[in-house]
């Protein structure tokens, strides 16, 4: 619901309603003069608070909560009708090493190994200090979410990880909705609401110091919010193909896995203040998305044992290689597509797969022959591929593609396939920040009062983001941004 609905007709009432509703958003003070109210002039739409958070995905919600935990007030703006952004779509997991959950499951992992995997996965292009902050604090982020009531008891492995460290709810259910609902519930318990359908259009500054934000509701009514600090947590630009092509022309014509609000607004607003950009050309495609609409099939399907086969019924890549490598391998197959192939045991191991089956995204067969007929692939070729792979599982070594983790053999039906192709998935480049989540200019100077966290930031993931690292990123840096903005 818009908070400034009917403002033009309500006059005094609208200002009072606005003021009273925003108390629920965190105790704000409308700087509205009686004269302004009576005249119903545009100036009446001015509010004051400690911190404005732009964007209510995981990074924004985590930062707003930390602002409140530090005893300060925040107004949270969200341009979409619903809260959650891309975070709500996240499925596979949240990476963290040395968590209490891993230790209960007997998984021996280390923060150092997590750091090494992340740097290697990002082709060593990542900014080392940011990766250190990420990998050292991700376990705390998981414990924090658990303390807030979240369920992260299932741990699996995603591409490029040398260990099982992708945390998600019991049964392998999608992780993003758990992160969003955990944070949102606590925020609501604290009386903090999100102003949905409200788009930030400009970050204000005076003499190089940030002073607030201008926003607009769905009817075009304008609101100015004065604040001591602003946190940009608007996510990436995975749904803005024009901006993607501007930075990387090879992405012309690609679909996207992203929600429609991922349009790069935060980057554009911060550029107006002289913010620097880090590795803006680095844009990730996700290898396994539906060819017609970019809907993403989580990497955890491969992590839990699925194979990738081509139209000859053959494997062609280590399925759990990094996303850039697997994407390229799929694009070089006939039609630029391939099939995810798995059986009932793999389907039962991951809650997300049940969702895919119920939504009719899979092709099914009681036997390999039945499935092969539908796929128009020779059945004996698929059988040969599966038998060879099962041999690798038994021997503990994949001599064809060197797949390191083969959690189970594929024996017994039903059998399932999903046709997949790569789509734009994550914009790894973005605003330049330091480890305190302060936004820096091109020259490396701090822009006073301006913070950023989440996918809007560049440098954490380098040339390739590992699956599970974005959710760790948004919670770790979201918290840091909130704590520092509150200071």
Ligand X SMILES: Cc1cc2nc3c(=O)[nH]c(=O)nc-3n(C[C@H](O)[C@H](O)[C@H](O)COP(=O)(O)OP(=O)(O)OC[C@H]3O[C@@H](n4cnc5c(N)ncnc54)[C@H](O)[C@@H]3O)c2cc1C
Site for ligand X in 220-239 (CB under 6 A): 233-235
Residues 323, 403, 465, 479: which is the catalytic one?
Answer: 323
Does residue number 175 form part of the binding site for ligand X (CB under 6 A)?
A: yes
Is residue 284 part of the contact set for ligand X (CB under 6 A)? no
Question: Which of 18, 47, 56, 306 touches ligand X by CB under 6 A?
Answer: 56
Minimum CB distance to ligand X, residue 172 (Å): 11
Give just the sign of the alpha carbon dihedral 369, 370, 374, 375: negative
Q: Binding segment for ligand X among 28-36, 147-155, 260-268, 360-368 (CB under 6 A)?
A: 260-268
Q: CA-CA distance, 308 to 418, in Å (whole number)?
A: 10
E strands within 177-298?
194-195, 198-206, 209-217, 222-232, 277-278, 283-289
Among 47, 141, 280, 296, binds ligand X (CB under 6 A): 296
Of the pair 184, 403, the CB lying nearest ligand X is at 184
Q: How many of the other CB atoms lie within 10 Å of CB of 404?
A: 12
Q: Which is nearer to ligand X, 338 or 456 (CB)?
A: 456
26 binds ligand X (CB under 6 A): no
Q: Is 252 exposed, middle or buried (0-12, 13-18, 19+ CB in 10 A)?
A: exposed
Report how far apart the first and last C-alpha atoms of the chain are (Å, whole number).
31
In this structure, what is the dihedral angle of CA atoms 351, 355, 361, 364, given to the nearest 10 degrees? Answer: 60
- Considering only residues 437 to 456 of the shown chain, the ones binding ligand X according to CB under 6 A are 454-456
94 near 135, Cβ under 8 Å? Answer: no
Question: Catalytic residue at 323?
Answer: yes
Among 200, 297, 308, 347, binds ligand X (CB under 6 A): 200
Structure tokens given for 333: 């197959």
Looking only at residues 313 through 332 of this chain, which bind ligand X when binding is defined by CB under 6 A?
none
What angle (nearest 5°) sits at the alpha carbon of residue 172, between those of residues 169 and 174?
70
Q: Which of residues 77-106 bind ligand X (CB under 6 A)?
A: 77-80, 85-87, 89-94
Per CB under 6 A, does 261 bind ligand X? yes
Q: What is the DSSP secondary structure assignment for residue 385, as one 8-state letter?
A: H
Residues that bind ligand X (CB under 6 A): 54-60, 77-80, 85-87, 89-94, 175-176, 199-200, 233-235, 257-258, 261-262, 265, 296, 426, 454-456, 467-471, 474
Q: Which residues are catalytic?
A: 323
């Amino acid at each position: 619901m818009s908070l400034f609905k009917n403002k033009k007709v309500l006059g005094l009432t609208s200002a009072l309603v606005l003021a009273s509703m925003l108390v629920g958003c965190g105790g704000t003070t409308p700087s509205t003069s009686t004269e302004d109210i009576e005249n119903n002039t545009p100036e009446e739409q001015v509010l004051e608070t400690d911190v404005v958070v732009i964007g209510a995905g995981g990074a924004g919600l985590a930062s707003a909560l930390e602002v409140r935990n530090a005893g300060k007030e925040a107004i949270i703006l969200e341009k979409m009708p619903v809260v959650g952004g891309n975070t709500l779509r996240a499925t596979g997991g949240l990476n963290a090493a040395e968590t209490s959950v891993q230790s209960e499951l007997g998984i021996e992992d280390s923060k150092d190994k997590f750091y090494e995997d992340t740097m290697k996965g990002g082709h060593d292009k990542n900014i080392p200090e940011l990766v250190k902050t990420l990998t050292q604090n991700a376990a705390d982020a998981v414990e924090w979410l658990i303390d807030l009531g979240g369920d992260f008891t299932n741990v699996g492995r995603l591409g490029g990880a040398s260990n099982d460290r992708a945390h998600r709810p019991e049964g392998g259910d999608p992780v993003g909705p758990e992160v969003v609902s955990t944070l949102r519930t606590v925020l609501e318990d604290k009386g903090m609401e999100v102003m949905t359908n409200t788009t930030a259009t400009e970050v204000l500054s005076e003499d190089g110091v940030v002073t607030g934000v201008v926003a607009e509701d769905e009817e075009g009514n304008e609101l100015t919010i004065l604040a001591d600090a602003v946190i940009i947590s608007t996510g990436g630009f995975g749904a803005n193909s024009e901006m993607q092509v501007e930075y990387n022309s090879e992405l012309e014509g690609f679909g996207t896995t992203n929600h429609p609000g991922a349009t790069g607004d935060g980057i554009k607003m911060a550029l107006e203040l002289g913010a620097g950009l880090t590795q803006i050309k680095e844009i990730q495609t996700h290898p396994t998305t539906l060819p017609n609409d970019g809907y993403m099939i989580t990497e955890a399907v491969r992590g839990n044992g699925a194979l990738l086969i081509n139209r000859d019924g053959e494997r062609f890549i280590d399925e759990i290689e990094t996303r850039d490598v697997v994407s390229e391998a799929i694009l070089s197959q006939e039609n630029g597509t391939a099939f995810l192939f798995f059986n009932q045991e793999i389907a039962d191991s991951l809650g997300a797969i049940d969702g895919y089956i119920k939504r009719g995204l899979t092709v099914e067969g009681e036997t390999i022959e039945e499935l092969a007929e539908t796929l128009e692939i020779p059945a004996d070729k698929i059988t040969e591929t599966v038998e060879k792979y099962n041999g690798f599982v038994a021997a503990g070594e994949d001599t064809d593609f060197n797949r390191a983790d083969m959690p189970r053999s594929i024996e017994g039906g039903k059998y399932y396939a999903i046709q997949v192709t790569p789509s734009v998935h994550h914009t790894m480049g973005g605003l330049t920040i330091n480890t305190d989540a302060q936004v820096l200019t091109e020259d490396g100077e701090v822009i006073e009062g301006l913070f950023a966290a989440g996918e809007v930031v560049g440098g954490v993931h380098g040339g390739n983001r590992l699956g599970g690292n974005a959710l760790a990123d948004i919670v770790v840096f979201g918290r840091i941004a909130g704590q520092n903005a509150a200071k």
